[in-house]
Amino acid sequence: MSGSALYETFARAPLAFDRGEGSWLITEDGKRYLDFAGGIAVNSLGHGHPHLVAAITEQAAKLWHVSNLYEIPGQRRLGERLVAATFADKVFFTNSGAEALECAIKTARRYHFVNGNPERYRTITFEGAFHGRTLATIAAGGQQKYLEGFGPKVDGFDQVAFDDVDAAEKLIGPETAAILLEPVQGEGGIRQFPAASLKRLRELCDKHGLLLIFDEVQCGIGRTGKLFAHEWSGVTPDLMAIAKGIGGGFPMGACLSTDEAAIGMTAGVHGTTFGGNPLAMAVGNAVLDVVLEDGFLDDVSRKALVMKQGLAAIADAYPDVVEDIRGIGLMLGLKCKQPNAKVNAALRGEELLAVPAGDNVIRLLPPLTVTDEDIRIGLDRIRAGAASLSHAPSATERKQSA
């Protein structure tokens, strides 16, 4: 055995946490890290949120799991609430983002199958995409580093450059079933599709009878200041995968669909053992209680603006470390001038947690409940991290030499 009993698939930081409080993670020896990684956009309400703790504790004492052989009232309720809040008419609950995407892809293929077009099974995706690590979702994501060594790539996925709507249009053929994208790419480096592109893609889907699938696993559930990121564009999809933030740390996901798109998903066609179980539903409903509270999302946008302005000032002060600030809401990215792994390590040195992404970006994904004080401390720590890597003289040094 080499090292540990675990697969060596994760390059873990040498850190272990004992507990969490809001935006903070605390090690066994009491060191406090400001958590702007948020378990990769999962801890939407931070750590130890009293409403979530109460919801899961109460449910845990009553019932954990019964399977989808029976009615699950919490599932019905969460489904109805997601339908009421979105374009969707139907919901299928899963345990993860990848499974939510699998459900969306299967739903799209099945739609064409029951409409007499079984040859339409291909999905167009965009470079930089991340849709999960199952065999189909690595094919959808199209990233060579995730595909290599796992046998033939699952058939049925074609990719064009990020935001290249013209190329997507050219690729549409008699076998095309759907177009799939993240309205704001997460792993790809916090890259947002312009509203105009989403509108054109919607038009293309309507014209060619394709289904538009949004992956809001990372950018959904209030992350951008709207319940779902696509709301900023006014464009609605036919299918949407969600996960991460809806569970607030409990593993769960969902595929949302219009009635029409879900037409092929009849009894026995798809399934899951754990998906939508009472524990997950108690937490999902509790997350929605908070996120849908009056004013909650407006406050996310207000805090996001404070944070973005603070980050822009840091980019101005240390252009040899941070080239640019991107993103929307509390899904922000530092486009780094130096290797992002180095910047991430410097931030960790300041006891601030962030997440590297593609395109040499550092993601900042604080809990939606982050306080103004947390943001102030976070900006101080990010500034200190940038200063430690910068060759530019600091403001105080400049003053001293003047």
Ligand X SMILES: *Cc1c(COP(=O)(O)O)cnc(C)c1O
Which residue lies nearer to ligand X by CB, 187 or 350? Answer: 187
- Contact between 59 and ligand X (CB under 6 A)? no
What is the spatial distance between Cα 165 and Cα 69, in angstroms, rounded to a whole number? 43
Element (H, E) at 60: helix 50-62
- Contact between 96 and ligand X (CB under 6 A)? yes
Structure tokens at 261: 């798109």
Which residue lies nearer to ligand X by CB, 35 or 215? Answer: 215
Which residue lies nearer to ligand X by CB, 228 or 318? Answer: 228
**Which parts of 257-337 fold into alpha helices (H)?**
278-291, 296-317
Buried b (16+ CB within 10 A) or exposed e, 376-386: ebbbebbbbbb
Binding mask 211-250 for ligand X (x = CB under 6 A): ----x-xx------------------------xx------
Structure tokens at 364: 């900042």
- Contact between 102 and ligand X (CB under 6 A)? no
Task: Give the total residue count for the chain.
Answer: 402
Q: Footprint of ligand X on residues 155-194 (CB under 6 A)?
A: 182, 186-187
Q: Tell me the residue number closest to ligand X, measured at CB.
A: 97
What is the spatial distance between Cα 245 and Cα 218, in angstroms, rounded to a whole number? 7
Size of the site for ligand X (CB under 6 A): 15
Which residue lies nearer to ligand X by CB, 96 or 107? Answer: 96
Collapsing DSSP to helix, strand or coil, 158 comes out as strand
| Main-chain phi, psi angles of 191, to 5 degrees | -120, 125
The answer to whether 374 touches 357, Cβ cutoff 8 Å, is: no
| Shortest CB 58 distance to ligand X, Å | 25
Instruction: Give the amino acid at 343.
Output: V
- 273 labelled as ligand-binding? yes
Which residue lies nearer to ligand X by CB, 100 or 261? Answer: 100
Residues at the interface with ligand X (CB under 6 A) = 96-98, 101, 130-132, 182, 186-187, 215, 217-218, 243-244
- Binding site for N(2)-acetyl-L-ornithine, residues? 133, 272
- Binding site, residues? 97-98, 130, 133, 215-218, 272-273
